[in-house]
Amino acid sequence: MSTIQLGGAPADAPPKPTFPWLIVPPAATLILLFGVPLALVFAVSFASRGTYGGIEWAFTLGNYTSIADPLYLRIFWRSLWLAVLTTVICLLMGFPLAYVIARAPTRWQGILLFLVIIPFWTNFLVRTYAWMFILRSEGLLSTVLSALGLTHEPLPLLFTDAAVLIGLVYGYLPFMVLPLYAALERLDPSLIEAAWDLYARPFQVFTRVVLPLSKPGVIAGCVLVFIPSLGAYVTPDLLGGARSMMIGNLIQHQYLVVRDWPFGSALSFVLMAGVLAAVLYYLRAGGARSL
């Protein structure tokens, strides 16, 4: 074997050094800390709830069939459209921002990217509490708007779907901006000039050249925003309250309040399957080759 390799290897292509054992620590970590608990949750999803909230190992599909209840379907539906809306708004807001950063002078790019990730320096929970202060009826937003004479009565924003949407967009916008920036920064400016020179109007330059060439960034950004939005828990809990529940809150409710672990596990797996299906469909439709 080794003699064949020695004789057959082209002189100008030395074998690349590979260190296969380097994947052992992360693989072990993933199997122990992710694979095992996931398998447990999967097993529990087919068990039954005990009388006092424990787990009874009696096989049943009942946890999955009871998800079809309109009450739960409505929560799934709300989660889905809130996640889709969050993704779309993040894309619409993030694209111009990423474009401006990518086209800024090099020394400005670092500063602007730094500003984008500054929110990560503060705990997400704390920042969400801050949004409660901004959004509540006598809060900052309401006060400012009435001081400007735009509204005349307190704005009941907190504990609505709109509040959840604001919180989700706020929380996940950087996850959209960073991959978009990475894609746009690589875009050769002379391609934009070439399209312009070849009679394309600014809008056509965008749709025919800028957008197709930044597709990998759009796909990555959308996946990175959509997945955590769909499973969001803290934001809808604090800003949506009981009226604007999402799947994450429902799962938490089943585990900690109702103490129905098997049903909570089934919900988790349906959510995971849904995310997987949505992302696979999206990647196929969007051309995963360009990733």
Write the DSSP symbol of residue 16. Answer: P
User: With respect to another protein, which residue has the nearer C-beta, 106 or 123?
Assistant: 106
Which residues from 61-90 bind another protein, rule CB under 8 A? Answer: none
Token pair 């051309």: residue: 287
Q: Which is nearer to another protein, 67 or 200 (CB)?
A: 200
Stretch that binds another protein, among 50-58, 65-73, 126-134, 192-200 (CB under 8 A): 192-200
Residue 55 pairs with which residues in a beta bridge?
49
Candidates 117-125, 166-174, 204-212, 220-228; binding stretch for another protein (CB under 8 A): 204-212
CA distance 163 to 161: 5
For another protein, give the closer residue by CB, 179 or 262: 179
Q: Which of 74, 208, 273, 280 binds another protein (CB under 8 A)?
A: 208
Residue 197 in contact with another protein, rule: CB under 8 A: yes
At closest approach, how far in Å is the CB of 202 from another protein? 9
163, 209, 219, 270: which one contacts another protein (CB under 8 A)? 209
Binding mask 162-191 for another protein (x = CB under 8 A): --------------------------x-xx
Which residue is it, tokens 């070849």? 198
* CA-based end-to-end distance of the chain: 36
CB 250 within 8 A of CB 267: yes
261 vs 263: CA distance, rounded Å: 6
Angle, vertex CA 118, rays to CA 279 and CA 233, nearest 5: 45
142 and 184 Cβ atoms separated by less than 8 Å: no
Residue from 283, 76, 248, 277 nearest 167 by CA: 248
Size of the site for another protein (CB under 8 A): 17
Q: Which residues bind another protein (CB under 8 A)?
A: 188, 190-191, 193-201, 204, 208-209, 212-213
